[in-house]
């Protein structure tokens, strides 16, 4: 009989055990205080927040500054251009994205913060390089009823 320790007690399990079981967990996330961010995506804009007390800039936007604790923040629109810092091609797509072709997720430095998005219109990822300039945008995914951040290489065709 296998034993499993939890934070409160040891639970005895009968018979064989399975390491993991797929679980679908859905919940609604309240976005009232950051609705400007989601409205911006719909308008093709990408917003961050800047703390008026300490000057820290946050993306994704934070309504309360994680650094100094102030709630006095302002919305700032991020530039549309950035520099690619890392990327990966996703072959094992997560739940809900199984019917998408393999896609590239990238992180770019934009306006002093890192922004993650889908790197679009790349036929051969072998020509993509860290340091490439990218242009940011947004696009709507009908299946998921949401907007995502997209990136395209600025001066390069791959």
72-81, 92-101, 136-145: least confident range: 92-101
* Residue 11 predicted with pLDDT over 60: yes
* Residue 93 predicted with pLDDT over 90: no
How much is the average pLDDT of 57-66? 93
* Residue 33 predicted with pLDDT over 90: no
Outline which parts of the chain fall under CATH 2.40.50: 79-158
How much is the average pLDDT of 10-20? 71
CATH number 3.10.450 is the correct assignment for the domain at 79-158:
no
Between CA 136 and CA 107 the distance in angstroms is: 11
How much is the average pLDDT of 61-82? 95
* Residue 9 predicted with pLDDT over 70: no
Between CA 82 and CA 145 the distance in angstroms is: 27
Between CA 61 and CA 113 the distance in angstroms is: 11
Bridge partners for 3 per DSSP: 12
Question: What is the structure's pLDDT at 16?
Answer: 75
C-alpha torsion 125→41→114→94, nearest 10: -50
* pTM score, whole prediction: 0.76
Bridge partners for 149 per DSSP: 138
Between CA 61 and CA 47 the distance in angstroms is: 7
> Token pair for residue 28?
């609604």
């Amino acid at each position: 009989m296998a034993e499993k320790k939890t934070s409160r007690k040891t639970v005895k399990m009968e018979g064989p055990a399975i390491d993991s079981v797929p679980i679908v967990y859905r919940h609604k996330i309240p976005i009232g205080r950051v609705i400007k961010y989601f409205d911006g995506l719909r308008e093709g804009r990408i917003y961050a927040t800047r703390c008026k007390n300490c000057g820290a800039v946050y993306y994704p936007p934070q309504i309360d500054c994680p650094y100094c604790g102030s709630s006095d923040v302002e919305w700032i629109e991020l530039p549309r251009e950035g520099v690619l810092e890392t990327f990966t091609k996703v072959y094992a797509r997560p739940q809900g994205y199984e019917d998408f072709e393999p896609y590239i997720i990238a992180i770019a430095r934009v306006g002093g913060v890192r922004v993650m998005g889908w790197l679009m219109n790349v036929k051969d990822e072998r020509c993509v390089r860290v340091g490439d300039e990218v242009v940011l945008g947004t696009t709507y995914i009908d299946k998921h009823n949401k907007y995502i951040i997209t990136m395209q290489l600025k001066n390069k065709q791959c």
